[in-house]
Structure 1
Amino acid sequence: MDKTFHFVDTTQVDGSVRKAMRSHVMKGKNVGKTFRRPSRLDIARRQPHVYAALLRSTRALNEEENSANPESLCPTAIARNIGNVFLTLPHPLALTSDALKVVNQFFIYVAQKMYPSQLGLSSDDAMSVWLRFMCTDEAASHCSIALMQTCNDFFIGDGASSQMALHHLSQTFTLVNKRLQSNEALSDSTLGIILLLMLQEQIRNAKLETRIHYEGLRKMIELRGGLGQLEGNLPLLLKICKTDITYALQNGGPMIFFRDRMSEVRNTLLERGFDFDRLSAASAIRHTGLNPCLHEVLLDVINVASLFNNIPTDQTLRINTFEEIIVSILSRLIRFRPLQSSKRESNIEAAYHIGLIIFMMTLFLQYDNRRILEYDLVSLCLKDVLDSGLDEQERDLTLWLMFIGGIWVSGDTDGGWFISKARRLLRRLSIKSWREVHNSVRKFPWIDALHDRLGFVVWNLAYRESQIS
């Protein structure tokens, strides 16, 4: 440490001067010392998980609690200032102004972007589900605020976990470990909290901790009697299925909570006047001889694209219906072939398989084309198919996969490989205009309102590179 002298004018001592004095003194006292303080997140995480307690008890849930009407907890119409709505609700926590700010930021800046309004979706339904869950009990409130702040930190802040998020997460662990040894161990609220804790660990890319929560969730649902016992709480059931989908896509394995309600969705859409014509979709499929399961999924995805390309401006799609579509299609695609499966399809089927997965994933869990979760395996499978020589025989299919994949990869932190590959493809196919690309990709599932702008960005990057090199 340099031996320097600092002279302080004590006649004008303010807060900044006192801070400088303390800092200089402590530098002298601590010279040569190394301090290693454990992070607050690690301290919270070291509290033991007691999922094992569930295996020792199969106490039935109170039927009256299961039949309680959640609609009475919270209004479905969400005001712009969500924090003010909280002040009128019976809430298990005394919310500070900072906590209300977290909730407002999440709903106004983050949640709104996760449900694309250009698809005719209203996020009010999703927001009301969040609010009802937060009002359930103290643990649900702490866990919700922790996750909201984590999302805010990622999308709006500098990406680092804030002290507030860590505080609420620590409180959640304490309360959940107590609850898992009580008669509330298998309640809907507990399942919802475990889902949010699992998402926290997925955001951190903490695979071991994520696996612990995943296995705990599986055991809890088994003790409840299976996924079918949750039909009375559709938002929770769909959240479980979506979490299972994200876990399967991150790790490459099969799903354990399979759900396919596509036939009911078709009937619901037709009753509400939405176009969902499978005969017309069948005529749009350009390849014969596809695996029957994959062919059926492709029919539905073509109809989904047509639905959103032609949705009336005065109609909105319910969030539950939208999520049933997402869950039903992705569940079937993962069952057809998990990403780590040793089974190998033809190049054409492999292109459709990963392309349809990516298409569906671009519809949800994104914010301004930024993903809070990493899906390295999806990007790797995309790269493998593009490297398979598909473009030598399938020009249009390759272009669609390249550009729907380019929209996906643009959300990756390590997507630099894509531009050089797209540049070579455009040069080899002698493609000179975005219109030419657009005419090709629209022969396959493509939603203009969602994919055109981002696809054009991919085109500009790739074409500019092809002109420079």
Structure 2
Amino acid sequence: MELSHQTKFIHSTATNLPFILSSSTGKVDPAARKTIRSHARRGTKQKRNEIQVKQSNQTSRFEMENMHKRPFQIIFDNNIIRTEQIPYRVGGDLSFLQFADDIKLEMLLNTAKVSATAMKVIHPLVAAIAHGADQGSRLALVQGDDAGLHLTAALMDDFIHRVLRLGAGSSPMAILHFQKGIRLLRYRLMGDDEKAKVTDSTIAAVTKLASAAHFSGDFTASKQHVEGIRRMVDLRGGLKSLKHSHLCVEIMRCDLGIALLNDSNPVFFQYPSDHLNFYPVELLVSPDEDQYSMGHAQLFENLHQDLLTVWKVLKRFCMLVNLASQTQQLMKIEIIHQTMTSTMYRLLAFRFPSNSLDESVRLALLAFTHHVFIQWLDIRLPNKPFTTKYQSHVDGLDLSPPAMIWIYMIGALSITDPARGEWANRGLHKYSIRCGVKKWKDVQFILNSFLWIPLLDDVPGERVFNVLCLH
């Protein structure tokens, strides 16, 4: 029987793709070749689109400048829906995890989806330029702890509602999870299992409570939580005994933020047995380095030597961050953490006469380091004690106009309530006239000669200057 040389097309109803059946060993006819080429091009185009979508979804480490220009509602992933019952994908990161307690799926999905945005808001510098931030260890620490799981779900839901969606108060779901987490944590701390009281997960849960109380303005509760953390850490043998390094950093960030904004002593590194961290090796300065090489001789000629060392370390830190930003390189996260602890704990421990230049510079450095290491993105917490103290010292200063512009700008970015920014506006207006600057580029040049990180400060600084110009 003679074989047919005709090519037949059979369309699959399941995939809507054509199957080509041919009984010929020769060349395919022109119509079939045209169909094959069209589907080959379609597959290549689809693969190219998938690659472009994947690249566009990757977060750039230098996205901070755009984040400052957008309100939180725009950064927020609108796909996060509280009432969603079906996972947004099958086989995701949460599909095969075994958690310590039952929790609704939508809460876990919200926590996983919003964690990247929360990192950018809570740790803006780390999220933008640091290498070594391990998100997996944070999830693992919560995964096996029932109290920490409920507290994390509650605080993340509260973060979504109050920060990203700019709502007021907590949602009913967040309140229920918070109450259950508190109940489980209290039962554990009052139990007979001494080891469970000082585990990393228990300390992490109490740290979350301290941060939440501080964010809500409850200074008494936040201080009590940190003091409890100190007792648990001492039972473990100190901060170095913690298995999770990021937990140690979170404890110190919480301790520093509470002590600074409420003008009190920190709970850690206040006893003779506590040893302050050394300055990062990458930022060490030689003892005989000429302080006048940094410019602004009037500011440094009579400054205390220890305070001058802190300034030099921070100056080199700013230079390193700016270099990494300009060359699109990541810097080790340990440098950021070591700079924070080695400078801020020393600044809080220094004692100078209240009407001295050293005290005023100390307060300015504290405001700057708080802004860089602790402050959330464009969010300023209630801090009346430190704000009042800072303003009273700055108003009595008589330094060069460029130095005063930097001091007032740091106060405006770090501690001054935007709704009550007249104090900073008056000072910036006064010394801008004395310097003869009328454009933001001129002010930016002055600020860069002091301590300034454009990656974090240029956009909000320009916003402050534009408001000043409007008035």
Fold match by TM threshold 0.5: yes
Give 1:116's aligned residue: 124
Shift of 1:252: 1.4
The question of 1:464 aligning with 2:470 is answered: yes
CA deviations over 1:403-438 (Å, ceiling 9, x no partner): 222222466554343223333333454432323322
**Partner of residue 227 from structure 1, selected from 219, 239, 242:** 239
Give 1:91's aligned residue: 99
State the distance in 2 between where 1:243 and 1:82 align: 37
Cα pair 2:355 2:393 within 8 Å, conserved:
no
The question of 1:344 aligning with 2:354 is answered: yes
Helix, strand or coil: the match of 2:133?
helix
Q: Which amino acid aligns with 2:313?
A: D
State the distance in 1 between where 2:90 and 2:448 align: 39
Shift of 1:94: 3.3
| 1:132-147 alignment, distance < 5 Å | 132-147=140-155
Identity of matched residues, % = 22
**Partner of residue 317 from structure 1, selected from 319, 327, 331:** 331
CA deviations over 1:250-303 (Å, ceiling 9, x no partner): 32122231264344x32xx4xxxxx87668784316312311211111111000
| 1:372-451 alignment, distance < 5 Å | 373-390=381-398, 393-409=399-415, 412=418, 414-451=420-457
Asked which structure has the greater CA Rg, the reply is 2
CA deviations over 1:286-332 (Å, ceiling 9, x no partner): 31231121111111100011001111645312334322221221111
State the distance in 1 between where 2:354 and 2:416 align: 27
Helix, strand or coil: the match of 1:86?
coil
Cα pair 1:114 1:364 within 8 Å, conserved:
no
Helix, strand or coil: the match of 1:84?
coil
Give 1:254's aligned residue: 265
State the distance in 1 between where 2:201 and 2:127 align: 31
Give 2:159's aligned residue: 151
Q: What's the C-alpha RMSD, in Å, of the aligned pairs? A: 3.0
Q: Which amino acid aligns with 1:103?
A: T
Helix, strand or coil: the match of 2:197?
coil
State the distance in 1 between where 2:120 and 2:334 align: 16
Give 1:452's aligned residue: 458
Give 1:356's aligned residue: 365
The question of 1:185 aligning with 2:197 is answered: yes
State the distance in 2 between where 1:368 and 1:294 align: 27
State the distance in 2 between where 1:165 and 1:366 align: 24
CA deviations over 1:332-389 (Å, ceiling 9, x no partner): 111114xxxx842523x23321222222222244444123x33333322331122114
Consecutive aligned runs of 4 or more in structure 1 exceeding 6 Å deviation: 80-83
Q: Which residues of structure 1 form unaligned runs of 5+?
A: 1-79, 270-274
Give 1:242's aligned residue: 253
Seen in structure 2, the aligned counterparts of structure 1 residues 150 and 459 have a Cα distance that, compared at 3 Å, is same
| 1:61-76 alignment, distance < 5 Å | none
CA deviations over 1:187-228 (Å, ceiling 9, x no partner): 221111111111111122123322332332222223333334
State the distance in 2 between where 1:189 and 1:333 align: 30
**Partner of residue 183 from structure 2, selected from 160, 174, 182:** 174
Seen in structure 2, the aligned counterparts of structure 1 residues 147 and 412 have a Cα distance that, compared at 3 Å, is farther
The 10-residue stretch of structure 1 (295-304 or 235-244) with the greater mean CA deviation from structure 2? 235-244
Seen in structure 2, the aligned counterparts of structure 1 residues 414 and 162 have a Cα distance that, compared at 3 Å, is farther
Seen in structure 2, the aligned counterparts of structure 1 residues 120 and 262 have a Cα distance that, compared at 3 Å, is farther
CA deviations over 1:91-144 (Å, ceiling 9, x no partner): 223342320243035313222333336985248725233212211311111111
Cα pair 1:252 1:377 within 8 Å, conserved:
yes
Q: Which residues of structure 2 form unaligned runs of 5+?
A: 1-87, 270-274
Q: Normalization by structure 1: what TM-score?
A: 0.71
Helix, strand or coil: the match of 2:212?
helix
Seen in structure 2, the aligned counterparts of structure 1 residues 310 and 123 have a Cα distance that, compared at 3 Å, is closer
The question of 1:216 aligning with 2:222 is answered: no
State the distance in 2 between where 1:227 and 1:366 align: 23
The 10-residue stretch of structure 1 (359-368 or 137-146) with the greater mean CA deviation from structure 2? 359-368
Q: Which amino acid aligns with 2:456?
A: L
Give 1:35's aligned residue: none
* Count of matched residue positions in the alignment of Structure 1 and Structure 2: 369
Cα pair 1:119 1:308 within 8 Å, conserved:
no
Helix, strand or coil: the match of 1:451?
helix
State the distance in 2 between where 1:81 and 1:363 align: 37
Q: Normalization by structure 2: what TM-score?
A: 0.70
Seen in structure 2, the aligned counterparts of structure 1 residues 237 and 178 have a Cα distance that, compared at 3 Å, is same
Q: Which amino acid aligns with 2:448?
A: R
Cα pair 2:344 2:369 within 8 Å, conserved:
yes
